[in-house]
Amino acid sequence: MRFSTLLVPTTKETPNDATLASHIFLLRGGFIQSVGGSGLYNFLPLGKRVLDKVRNVVKDELDAAGCQEVSLSFVTPASLWEESGRYEKYGKELLRFKDRKENEFVLGPTHEEMMVNLVRQSVKSYKQLPLNLYQINLKFRDEIRPRFGLMRGREFLMKDGYSFHTDEADMKREFDLMEETYKKIFTRLGLEFRVVEADSGAIGGSGSKEFMVLADSGEDTIVICDACDYGANIEAATRKEKACDAPAPTLPSEKVHTPDITTMEALSEYFNVNPYYLVKTVAMRALYDEGKSEIVLFALRGSDELQEVKACNAVDANDLVEVNEEELSEAGLVAGFMSPIGAPKGVRVVVDNTLKGASGMICGANEKDYHTTGNTIDEESFDFYDIVAVQEGDMCPKCGGTLRYTKGIEAGHIFQLGTRYSEPLGCTFLDENGKAKPMVMGTYGIGVSRLLAAIIEQHHDEKGCIWTKESAPFDLYVMVSNVKDEAQLALGEKVYEALKRKGIDVLFDDRKDRFGAKMKDYELIGVPHAVIIGKKLAEGMVEFVTREGMEKEEVPAEEIIAFVEEKLC
């Protein structure tokens, strides 16, 4: 491809809303173009090339694993979503609209319903299973706050795959196969990543794993073990139960006047007791389908933090939101002095597992300016769940090693779905005995457009992108420093044509610009290697540049074609 004819609008200036390296360089390098903000992007020729490269790696590995590519309708009838029960549950991220006949539709944020619909119409027998179907298509999620360019757009390219099985065991086999396949994909793309345990979110299902590309700019906090391979999203992380060295308080069971002591810190100081022996009670409003909601008290140890996603799952709610003082007093609660013990009637209480049977605890009194001491958390009286956030320094649940936080970009997510969708949607097959059974499903996603951002987050320097071999828009950049110099231009043309014939994707910079401008563009665009034909040609030499580290090697001009072949093939 000749640069002089390619649409690559590189810019010197950084758009003011871009803060992340990937966002800045993808815009400045002319890969993508923002569509009036709000998380929508056009892909320009360079960006489209990278997208296709990444997509091909994904397709290549999936096909090798026996998956079959299909393409599902982007606009899906709302009725399918009502059948699965997600029309309400998915919330505002689901973009809903009506056609001219007032029929309701949604733009697919994920396609479980659609794929199940496809399969239930065409698969009837156990002989047709297992089946793993996928597509690489647009998705739309009306994100609360799109940001960071391709990292969190509203419209994005996603690979979504769905597998169908006769039983749980076969689904698990496929789940493991997909884990291996995903590892191959991310490895080929040159990414440093970690597979972690995850929360299943709105998709539903049981076991799920995320593929996290490690980067400081990642939006997810993941917990990893120093000693073993344990890794989990903070939303799903667990730990070995914590003990407390400080002695348990021996206060009698009584009500104590504690004016204006509303924080764990103040309470700990007042009673001179480790926060481990205090009960922290957090009130939140849980939202359910059909606009129903209730106030829930979440009780945990004062030394712990509430993990909202776990809490949300514990009450099986769609979402948890803050409760204001007014709502609290209406429910008979006093901020700062709440307690699971003696909570007002009608207020649901969820208690953390670590409090099961705990004694000597200090709680609020559910009365302004009073706490109670010497409480025991009766195992029979409460619902117990794991609702705490794992903290750095906690112990690994697998090996007892030390856990620490790191940041990751969620680039892939695989789920063991079971019959979460096949049952409500009536996706059944006839087994050997002619008996109808719901298919057991798995679902597997990769954020393809997000991967472009993830690659750049891991592979860039202060000058621009450094694409990995399998993601680069071109294999090689051939630059003619001064196109008015006939010898330089002639050699450039010769090298370009020769390498193109050998199947190397070459971007040939034949523009009239000066050396400096072209060099800046090269660095910004970040093709892995370049051949620079310039001044040194007078002495019979050209340069071979490696973008990573910008190392330059001088090579005799007559050997350059063979040299490049040797290096790239």
Partner RNA sequence: CGGAGUGUAGCGCAGUCUGGUAGCGCACCUGGUUUGGGACCAGGGGGUCGAAGGUUCGAGUCCUUUCACUCCGACCA
Binding site for RNA (CB under 7 A): 9-13, 15-17, 19, 28, 36-39, 144-148, 262-264, 280-284, 304-306, 308, 320-325, 328, 335-338, 389, 463, 481-485, 512-517, 519-521, 523-524, 532-537, 543, 550, 552
Burial call 192-214: b when 16+ CB within 10 Å, e when fewer: ebbbbbbbbeebbbeebbbbbbb
Residue 558 has what DSSP assignment?
A: G
Q: Is residue 395 a contact partner of residue 401, using CB atoms and an 8 Å limit?
A: yes
| Nearer Cβ to RNA (115/362) | 362
- Distance from C-alpha of 488 to C-alpha of 524, rounded to nearest angstrom: 23
Residue 396 has what DSSP assignment?
A: P
- Reference 452, options 162, 153, 225, 228; nearest CA is 153
Q: What is the token pair recorded at 322?
A: 């803050």
| Nearer Cβ to RNA (60/369) | 369
Give how far the C-alpha of residue 64 lies from the chain's centroid of Cα atoms, to the nearest Å.
25
> Min. distance of Cβ 523 from RNA in angstroms?
5
| Nearer Cβ to RNA (38/359) | 38
Sign of the torsion angle spanned by Cα atoms 116, 146, 19, 212: negative
- Distance from C-alpha of 57 to C-alpha of 60, rounded to nearest angstrom: 5
| Nearer Cβ to RNA (19/73) | 19
| Nearer Cβ to RNA (192/219) | 219
| Nearer Cβ to RNA (33/376) | 33
In order, the DSSP letters of 326-341 are HHHHHTT--TTS--ST
Q: Is residue 296 a contact partner of residue 283, using CB atoms and an 8 Å limit?
A: yes
> Min. distance of Cβ 37 from RNA in angstroms?
3
Neighbours of 244 (CB within 10 A): 12
| Nearer Cβ to RNA (499/519) | 519
- Bond preceding residue 130 cis, omega within 30 of 0: yes
> Min. distance of Cβ 98 from RNA in angstroms?
19
> Min. distance of Cβ 116 from RNA in angstroms?
31
> Min. distance of Cβ 22 from RNA in angstroms?
13
> Min. distance of Cβ 319 from RNA in angstroms?
9
Q: What is the token pair recorded at 557?
A: 């001009």
> Min. distance of Cβ 73 from RNA in angstroms?
26
